Structure 1
């Protein structure tokens, strides 16, 4: 009996193409279940986790009671580039005065407090947030997302949700 006949069948019973397809399927199943590879992210190999402090500038937050929304030591949810990081601690909350440039009679500009800030419920804040981050050679990483100056972040609490911009990153 021949191994391969004139019609391309093995031992006259099974097509060589069917045999090849079945062999590929078996190898794929073996590869998935018996050789899963390494677990975890490559980015987590050889990095250290340390506290990272991030200063976030919020301009024009519309709120009637902004001073009562935030308390130092509270936890808030941080979202970086639409990716949830988790909870961070509000270390420091600083309300910045709203300033507008006013032209003087001699042609110079003088910064003066905005008289409409209280009427329009506009608030400028500087928030200092602290969380755990991985320190890599390219800088701190919070929740698998690089955190850098200029990154837009979202803060989500029980009574608020707004965006701010990172203006400083410090590794403690």
Structure 2
């Protein structure tokens, strides 16, 4: 009895192509489960996390009662953040600074003054700066939160019990 017959069958029963495909599948499974490597571990979880503060600016947030929202921030003191559509965890709301809504008004002498916006609909829009505190991984290229880098200009989505809106990062501070 020959090892391979004229039709390419191994011992007259199994096709050599089937045997080769089976060996490749077995080797692939063995390489995934048996051979140790770092493919299944998170390198971020193994790195120390440091406290940071992030200032974000909110411009023109449409809200029925701005004072109620600001009070909610001060009472709950926690918000969920989402960076580039990826949940990044909870941050503490350390400080809320409401910003006045002003309009540039030219003066008779040619100068310009910032005066309160007189439009009635302006009461439904709020500008503010929020200071958020949380933990992040420090790398050579910046601060990483939830596998996403935070730098000045990064869009951060804030999400709470009854709010969800986007902000823009204006400052990142590493606390010691």
Over the residues paired in the alignment, what is the CA RMSD in angstroms? 2.0
Partner of 2:118: 115
1:138: Cα distance to partner? 0.8
Partner of 2:174: 171
1:44: Cα distance to partner? 5.1
- Does residue 105 of structure 2 align to residue 102 of structure 1? yes
Partner of 2:132: 129
Give SS of 2:23's match. helix
Partner of 1:48: 48
Task: Verify the 8 A CA contact 1:53 1:128 in the aligned structure 2.
Answer: yes
Q: Deviation per CA, 1:45-81, whole angstroms, max 9, x where unpaired?
A: 5x43111100010011222322232206611111111
Deviates more, 1:87-96 or 1:7-16: 7-16
- Does residue 142 of structure 2 align to residue 139 of structure 1? yes
Give SS of 2:18's match. helix
Q: State the number of aligned residues.
A: 171
In 2, Cα distance between the equivalents of 1:12 and 1:118? 86
Give SS of 2:2's match. coil
Task: Verify the 8 A CA contact 1:72 1:93 in the aligned structure 2.
Answer: no
Give SS of 1:149's match. coil
Q: Deviation per CA, 1:114-172, whole angstroms, max 9, x where unpaired?
A: 12377532211010001111111111111110001111111111122211111000010
Among 154, 158, 161, which residue is 1:158 paired with? 161
1:40: Cα distance to partner? 1.8
Change (3 A) 1:117 1:60: farther
Partner of 1:18: 18
- Does residue 33 of structure 2 align to residue 33 of structure 1? yes
In 1, Cα distance between the equivalents of 2:19 and 2:122? 79
Change (3 A) 1:9 1:118: closer
- TM-score after normalising by structure 1: 0.88
